[in-house]
Chains A and B, each alone.
Chain A
């Protein structure tokens, strides 16, 4: 646990908290981007170059942009007048606590189920590519098929609306 870790972790947590607590929705989206960037830096800190860069490329380059696009196109960018808290925050708090508990339990027990690695594994991008094209080729293809189906579905939804408007 180096000082770099604490700085990055603090940055990600601050970004995530700001994303929840800020009033302006676009500010929230930008704060969320900060949290994404913090996660990417954590991957890089762990020497996982591919995961880190993919995180930046996908989450900052595409997901964050999509989020701000959605906010602007749906007129949700108006700032709420009074408070960001919902009327019954108790339900949300319980749900969040439950999810946190499950995730925390899973993380704390994961080290037992994994094989003990004495040295830090050296994973190059080439290894990841070989694994994706060899051992994990079926999951990869299934994900690809799912994404293609989603893409075509999205296009069909968009087309239908346009025809109805005529």
Chain B
């Protein structure tokens, strides 16, 4: 029974495919999985948008959407209908072809990343040897779509937003990659399935997730920072900065194309959350061994939605960074720490079992964090804010 519940989607797929002639079966199985992904994640997107609007409303002492359906839970449906029936405006001077291709390209690329994520036991669409590399290669292509959108609109705010976005995404891609390299070093594989398997063990009922080791914890925090910046989320949402750039690179998009950008952003966030869960939080494995009876896919989606809640929480809490702060933070703080984390991961690997490696690795990371934090803050006089033009 437990086995059945765990494998319910796999069994369902086998059952559905078995109606077809055997020559068509492999292709049909792949198609079915693709359709499942394309249906599931937009549904989660609708839920998280509602969650975000309600949650941010609560944090800002207002109600949020509460008119459509009980407690406003049908708001995403209304939003979707609105986006579909709105007029699609293309600026007169815009580059029509590139303007059209940008959102399509973004959504296609963002969905491709899910091909390698293990969403449960035996629930990986393509079990690739170089799965992690595939995810990053695909993720890097989203920058191009952002650039296409900003450039083709022929609007200075769009172009500024696109330039900011590209600069930011390039800068934070380095720490994003570097912090996950530590996981690859310890596991000895780029395959996401093997990374999950390596973490799916328990001692005294507690899991061997990488986040519970010194290098893993540091790596996870750095990865989370870089992932927030990669997805252009607050406090790194300068590319959209509505108080400065109207809406950044998608200023000139309306109707369903705008909805596609919105979808791309959230689906990308869920994808990178899924990757973070896979790399550091044990993927589909249960948090305690006595919870092993809960289906594995439940844990994956629970971790992804938890990460989404943290994204929303951070957005409601932190103010936006300035461009120079953003760059300094990436190159002078996050990148050196990720490089150091690689060395610490190597130490951890070769120091053998025992309490000594815990002490040494934690001490190095804590010391570096403190010293670099102090060093970076020295000379910065933080006082009350002075307004140059507004007084």
Main secondary structure of the interface of B (DSSP, over half): helix
A60 neighbours in B (Cβ, 8 Å): 137, 140-141, 144
Q: Quote the shortest CB–CB distance from B270 to chain A (angstroms).
A: 21
Cβ-defined contact, A125 with B130, below 8 A: yes
Cβ-defined contact, A72 with B163, below 8 A: yes
Q: Is A39 located at the chain interface by the 8 A CB criterion? A: no
Q: Is B250 located at the chain interface by the 8 A CB criterion? A: no
Cβ-defined contact, B128 with A26, below 8 A: no
Q: A30-B98, A65-B144, A72-B163 are in contact. Are A56 and B170 (CB under 8 A)?
A: no
Interface size on A, residues (CB 8 A): 22
Q: Is B279 located at the chain interface by the 8 A CB criterion? A: no
For window 44-86 of A, CB contacts with B under 8 Å fall at 49-50, 53-54, 56-57, 60-62, 64-65, 68-69, 72
Q: Is A158 located at the chain interface by the 8 A CB criterion? A: no
Q: Is B237 located at the chain interface by the 8 A CB criterion? A: no
Q: A57-B137, A62-B140 are in contact. Are A26 and B130 (CB under 8 A)?
A: no
Residue of B nearest to A60 (CB): B141
Cβ-defined contact, A53 with B137, below 8 A: yes
Option from B129, B140, B148, B151 in Cβ contact (under 8 Å) with A61: B140
A72 neighbours in B (Cβ, 8 Å): 151, 159, 163
One digit per residue, 1 when the CB lies within 8 angstroms of any chain A CB and 0 when it does not, for chain B 133-158 equals 11011101101100110010000000
One digit per residue, 1 when the CB lies within 8 angstroms of any chain B CB and 0 when it does not, for chain A 118-130 equals 0000001110000
Q: In which size bucket is the chain B interface?
A: 20 to 34
Option from A26, A56, A126 in Cβ contact (under 8 Å) with B140: A56
Q: Is B200 located at the chain interface by the 8 A CB criterion? A: no
> What's the A-B contact tally at a CB cutoff of 8 Å?
61
Residue of A nearest to B166 (CB): A65
- Docked Cα-Cα span, A69 to B165, in Å, equals 12
Q: A50-B130, A125-B130 are in contact. Are A57 and B140 (CB under 8 A)?
A: yes
- Docked Cα-Cα span, A110 to B95, in Å, equals 44
Cβ-defined contact, A57 with B129, below 8 A: no
Q: Is B289 located at the chain interface by the 8 A CB criterion? A: no
Q: Is A33 located at the chain interface by the 8 A CB criterion? A: yes
Q: Is B265 located at the chain interface by the 8 A CB criterion? A: no
Q: Is B275 located at the chain interface by the 8 A CB criterion? A: no
Q: Quote the shortest CB–CB distance from A45 to chain B (angstroms).
A: 15
B213 neighbours in A (Cβ, 8 Å): none
- Docked Cα-Cα span, A60 to B378, in Å, equals 39
Binding site for A on B (CB under 8 A): 95, 98, 128-130, 133-134, 136-138, 140-141, 143-144, 147-148, 151, 159, 163, 166, 170, 173, 188-190
Binding site for B on A (CB under 8 A): 24, 26-27, 30, 33, 49-50, 53-54, 56-57, 60-62, 64-65, 68-69, 72, 124-126
